[in-house]
Chain A
Amino acid sequence: MTLFGLDLVIPLKLLIGIAVVLLPAGTTVYLYLFKAVSFMQSRLGPMEAGPYGSMQLLAEVGKSLQKEDIFPAKADRTVFAMAPYVVLMSTFLLAALVPFGPDAYFVDLDTGIFFALAVSSVSVVGILMAGWSSASKYSLLGGLRAAGQLVAYELPLVLAVVGVVIQAGTLNLQGIIAAQTGGEIFGWGAIGNPFILTQFVGFLIFMIAVQAELTQVPFDMPIAESELVSGYMTEYSGMRFLMFFIGEFATAAIFGFLGSVLFLGGWQIPPFVTDLLGIEADSNWFNVIGPLVMVVKMLVLTFVIYWVRFTYPRFREDQLQTFAWKFLIPLSLVNIAFTGLLKVVF
């Protein structure tokens, strides 16, 4: 595809990539952070900007853009300025991996899920940079807490995914999706084998660990507003704060995508539906239906994330670490052993 001799593929991919990060983030923030939480508190939430307040997010972005970009006097300016980009970079790297259809993906790595979990922890570096360079005690404490928490919950996240990988027999995200559609539960293959059914414990651990990775509420010690003002984001304002904000909620949406790839069958629909429609499981149709299916599944999973977020109060710091090291990690190890055993048996 060229226009006036210019190669349009890369700019197009860039645009779609930005859309893949921003659109799900905006949708989930509007639907859940603005609306669902308001309904849970018996209020309507934003109603003025656009129909039912749907343009509220644009107003918020506009507000953030015109704010002053403040650097604390003793801040390490370079690191302070770079930190939000590092966090956002991890989000974009994650988004690049998500498959939306048989051909609708940016990259298809053989070690897809391994790479995804690896780049998702890059955000820790950004958060530590933000916490350290702000020259503020709240930021520093928040950054250290975030580092401790993200390292602790990285393990159950990886270990929960290992169960899926054992069952699918591949690290490739497309392969995991194919394994779910082509699989069958005790010889019954009408809905394939979505790993949420056969890896239910793994799914629970995955969702809990994702909640902690995103520092959403029961696990929001790093930005505990009653203790640390706003944690590592305390000193940020305007555009850079907005980038942390986008990073947080876009990552939530992308973890929703990853969760639906790993546990809900990704862009595929149950085999009996494809049989009914009379289309092949990897036909071109899925490049159109696939993204929609993914968005629906992502919305379900992110709803759970925000539902939990707005239901529970915060853990204490030691409870958080105990929960990860003494409960989730042993449980996920048992899950791996059990999955391995069953893999050998069947």
Chain B
Amino acid sequence: MALVPKGLIKGLGVTFKELTKTVVNGAETVQYPHEKEAPPTRARGVIALHEENCTACMLCVRECPDWCIYIEGHKELAPPRRAGGKPRSVNKLDRFDIDYGLCMYCGICVEVCPFEAIFWSPEYEYSEPRIADLLHDKTRLGQWMETVPEFEPYEAGAEVKAKKVPR
């Protein structure tokens, strides 16, 4: 053991410097309910549903590692595209629920959606006193669409990797 433990004294200096810094300049943290930090635009806060784009293809349901997406739909006959054609059969969405009590925010559903129907929103304040209320139905998921930020262009060179451009 060295006669003067320099490292130990240096350690005490570090904590004391941080203490004075906090007293003088204030803390790095934010006093949450009173002041809020704006999360970055691509933060994974909540998943929003753009209902018109959804075809109930069930890809997100099957890819979801937590099985927290529930989709029910039925087929309907839509008028033909061209005059004289056969009526088309389209999927109609009856139910689209995400259980945020189960969701682990991996974002696979957003990635996998081929029809641009699921988006990330940076909103994060939707805790509930009852766990059952964490199941957001399609109206609630649709309301989150308002909070989805406008698409920001990727950095130069990143387009190659990006498979799809949201919105």
- Mask for A298-330, Cβ within 8 A of B = 1, else 0? 000000000110111000000000000001000
- Which chain B residue lies CB-closest to A47? B31
Determine if B29 and A40 form an interchain contact, defined as CB atoms under 8 angstroms apart: no
Given A39-B22, A44-B29, A44-B31, A307:B15 Cβ within 8 A: yes
User: Is A74 at the interface (CB under 8 A from chain B)?
Assistant: no
Q: How far is the CB of A61 from chain B (nearest CB, A)?
A: 23
Q: Knowing A36-B19, A307-B16, A327-B1 touch, does A42 contact B11 (C-beta < 8 A)?
A: no
Interface centre among A38, A44, A308, A327 (most CB of B within 10 A): A44
B19 & A39 in contact (Cβ 8 Å cutoff):
yes
Residue contact A40 to B19, C-beta cutoff 8 Å:
yes
Does B8 sit at the interface, judged by CB under 8 A?
A: yes
A41 touches B16 (CB 8 A): no
- Given the known inter-chain contacts A36-B19, A312-B8, please indicate yes or no for A43 contacting B29, CB distance below 8 A: yes
A300 to chain B, nearest CB (A): 14
Q: Is the CB of B18 within 8 A of A42?
A: yes
Q: Return A51 CB to nearest CB of chain B, in Å.
A: 14
Question: At the interface, yes or no: B28 with Cβ under 8 Å from chain A?
Answer: yes
Specify which chain B residues have a CB less than 8 angstroms from the CB of A307 in the assembled complex: 12, 15-16
* Most interface-central of B19, B23, B31 (chain A CB within 10 A): B19
- Chain A residues 42-64 with CB under 8 Å of chain B are 42-44, 47
Interface residues on chain B, size class = 10 to 19
Partner of A42, one of B12, B16, B27, B31: B27
Q: Closest CB of chain B to A247's CB: distance in Å?
A: 26
Closest chain A residue, CB of each to CB of B29: A43
B15 near A42 with CB under 8 A, answer: no
In the bound complex, do residue B18 and residue A312 qualify as a contact, i.e. CB atoms below 8 Å apart?
no
Residue numbers in B under 8 Å from A44 (CB-CB): 22, 27, 29, 31
Least CB separation from B25: chain A residue? A42
**Cβ of B28: which chain A residues have Cβ within 8 Å of it?**
42-43
Among A40, A308, A327, point to the contact of B18 (Cβ < 8 A).
Answer: A40
- What A residues does B132 contact at CB under 8 A? none
- Is B42 an interface residue, CB under 8 A from the partner? no
Interface residues of A in 4-46 (CB under 8 A from B): 36, 38-44
* Cβ-defined contact, A310 with B15, below 8 A: yes
| Contacts A307-B15, A311-B14, A311-B15 given; does A42 touch B21 at CB 8 Å | yes
Contact between chains at B11 and A311 (CB < 8 Å): yes
Beta-carbon contact of A39 and B23 below 8 Å: yes
Closest to A327 in B: B1
- How many Å from the CB of A97 to the closest CB on chain B? 30
- Shortest C-beta distance, A218 to chain B (Å), equals 9
A-B contact pairs, 19 of them (CB 8 A): A36-B19, A38-B22, A38-B27, A39-B18, A39-B19, A39-B23, A39-B27, A40-B16, A40-B18, A42-B21, A42-B22, A42-B27, A43-B28, A44-B29, A311-B11, A311-B12, A311-B15, A312-B8, A327-B1
- Which positions in A face B, CB cutoff 8 Å? 36, 38-44, 47, 307-308, 310-312, 327
Kindly list 7 other residue pairs between chains A and B, CB separation below 8 angstroms, not including A36-B19, A44-B29, A312-B11. Answer: A39-B23, A39-B27, A41-B18, A43-B22, A44-B22, A44-B27, A311-B15
Closest 8 CB pairs of A and B: A39-B22, A42-B28, A43-B29, A39-B19, A40-B15, A311-B15, A44-B27, A40-B19
